[in-house]
Amino acid sequence: MTAMSGSAARSGPAEPPQAVDPADMEQTGPPPGQDAAELCEQARDLAESGHVARAAALYRRAAATGPGPRTLARALLGLAVTEDQRGDTAASREAARRAVATGDARYAPRAAYHLALSLEQGGEQEEAERTWLRLLDLGGAAYTAVARYGLARAAEARGDAAAAEEHWEAALSLPPDPSAMDRLHAATVVEAARDLAGRLLERGLPGAAVAAAERGLAVTDDPGLRLARAAARLEHAVADLGAILERDPEETGGRAEPGTAGAAVEILSGLLALRGDPPSAHQVWRRGLEDPDRDTAAEVRRRLRLGFASQEREGTPPWWDPYLEEAVATVSAPALAGELFAALTQMHSLLALPLAEGEQDPARLRAAMHQALLTPSDLVWGPDLHADFRRRLGAAAGRDVLPQGWPDHS
């Protein structure tokens, strides 16, 4: 494909575990006069300050005090997040499972989300999918979209296209007033739209990719979605331009006019180069230049040479024209320019040094000039440079005055 691809699932809290000092070690026994809610507040402050080990210990003690369902769910969610930050995946998942089991309307969905992402990223797809289904039952439009997005990824992973399509559709469904969506719901729709657009582009379905991107753009003006839509439209343009050049005269009522075909070659080649496919761009130019219709081939060549300086002498193009044409057609003009500047720099150095040092020995001056002349010899265009000088000198002298193999074997 192109520049787009399906994005990976979002991760849970990603801060690395902090180093643990002796003060971070778990204490035994609940502190006198503190209830579970107070412990959760303290744990949250510690976690935000980077003391995740001490925070995990307080969340664990808060859960052990036997609080009500809401505080228990909060403590277990906090424990799941901090254990994840510490790198203890098993403990994190166990705490998340316990939080989900409380069924609390506020914290259980968050715990299910955290657990499902952890399982998905760990390759445990079956349990991840069961957790996404559980999240569907926990309520709320935002978490419904989150769950549907997860289920769409799961269906894609197991190759169930029908189920994936159903879940993508549900994940991208918008309420009557998209501006009333909460942040989680909006962010989920945008991310799902980017993901789906990339997958559709990979499958060669640019029209569907544009539609997916526009559903996300209905929520917010996201640069990633605009890029996805532009990439999809580029693929549309490539297909349309290719259809112009592949017309069968017997089936479509005639070939494209030379001006239309020439423009199609120029634009298609440019789009293919932009897409990162220089060989295909070159092939398009080459086929246009070799078109059996002389008018079309002439129009293609005219467009290929639009940026060339007019340096023809007596109707004969300069010797370097074929190299310029090839450089444009193969999207290698920067490489050719680099070769030219490198050769010019080397020739300048070889000639400038004796001049700067005031060299007067004819043999050394001649040797410097010879080395400068030899500089382009190993480059693909070097022999033609030498041959052009031989022709011009011979025309001026009325005969070929240079020895064979000059200047390499002079």
Residues 54 and 170 in one domain: yes
For the residues 172-184, what does the mean pLDDT come to? Answer: 87
Contact 153/138 with Cβ under 8 angstroms?
no
SS3 316: strand
Q: What is the pLDDT of residue 351?
A: 93
Is 1 domain-assigned? no
User: Does one domain contain both 306 and 373?
Assistant: no
Report yes or no on 404 lying in a domain: no
- 84 and 214 fall within a common domain: yes
| Domain count within the chain | 3
- The Cα 23–Cα 11 span in angstroms is 30
* 136: in domain: yes
- Are 71 and 182 in a shared domain? yes
Q: Which residues contact 11 (CB under 8 A, 6 or more apart)?
A: 117, 121
At 354, list the tokens: 């004796």
Domain harbouring 116, CATH code: 1.25.40.10
Among the three residues 281, 312, 331, which one is the final residue of a domain in this structure? 331
Taking the C-alpha atoms of residue 10 and residue 127, their distance in angstroms, rounded to an integer, is 17
Domain of residue 294, residue span: 253-331
Q: Answer yes or no: is 6 within a domain.
A: no
Residue 22 lies in a domain: no
**Average pLDDT, integer, range 39-61:** 93
Pair (276, 304) in one structural domain: yes
Instruction: Tell me: do 214 and 343 sit in the same domain.
Output: no
pLDDT in tens, 84-114: 999 999 999 999 999 999 999 999 999 999 9
**In a domain? residue 405:** no
Among residues 213, 241, 269, which one ends one of the domains?
241
The verdict on 388 and 278 lying in the same domain is: no
Q: Is 88 buried (19+), middle (13-18) or exposed (0-12) by CB count in 10 A? A: middle
Percent over 70 (pLDDT), the chain: 88
| Residue 407 forms part of a structural domain | no
Residues 97 and 73 in one domain: yes
CA dist., res. 298 & res. 314, Å (int): 20
More confident residue, 410 or 263: 263
Residues 272 and 385 reside in one and the same domain: no
List of long-range contacts for 230-236, beta carbons under 8 Å, 24+ apart:
231/2, 231/3, 231/4, 231/201, 232/4, 232/197, 232/200, 232/201, 232/206, 232/207, 233/206, 234/2, 234/206, 234/271, 234/274, 234/275, 235/2, 235/201, 235/204, 235/206, 235/209, 236/206, 236/207, 236/210
Co-location of 322 and 343 in the same domain: no
Question: Does one domain contain both 326 and 358?
Answer: no
Question: How many CB atoms sit inside 10 A of residue 121's CB?
Answer: 15
pLDDT digits (tens, 9 = 90+) for 235-272: 999 999 999 998 766 655 568 899 999 999 999 999 99
Residues 229 and 139 in one domain: yes
Residue 392 lies in a domain: yes
**Residue 291 region by backbone torsions, left for phi larger than 0, else alpha for psi between -120 and 50, else beta:** beta
According to the model, what pLDDT value does residue 253 have? 59
Let me know if 29 is exposed, middle or buried by CB neighbors in 10 A (0-12, 13-18, 19+): exposed
**Whole-number pLDDT of residue 142:** 92
Average pLDDT over the chain, rounded to an integer: 87
The DSSP-derived string for 157-190 is HTT-HHHHHHHHHHHT---S-GGG--HHHHHHHH
Domain termination residue (choose one: 331, 356, 376): 331
Q: What would the pLDDT profile of 66-77 be if each residue is shown by its tens digit?
A: 888 999 999 999
Mean pLDDT of all residues in 190-212:
94
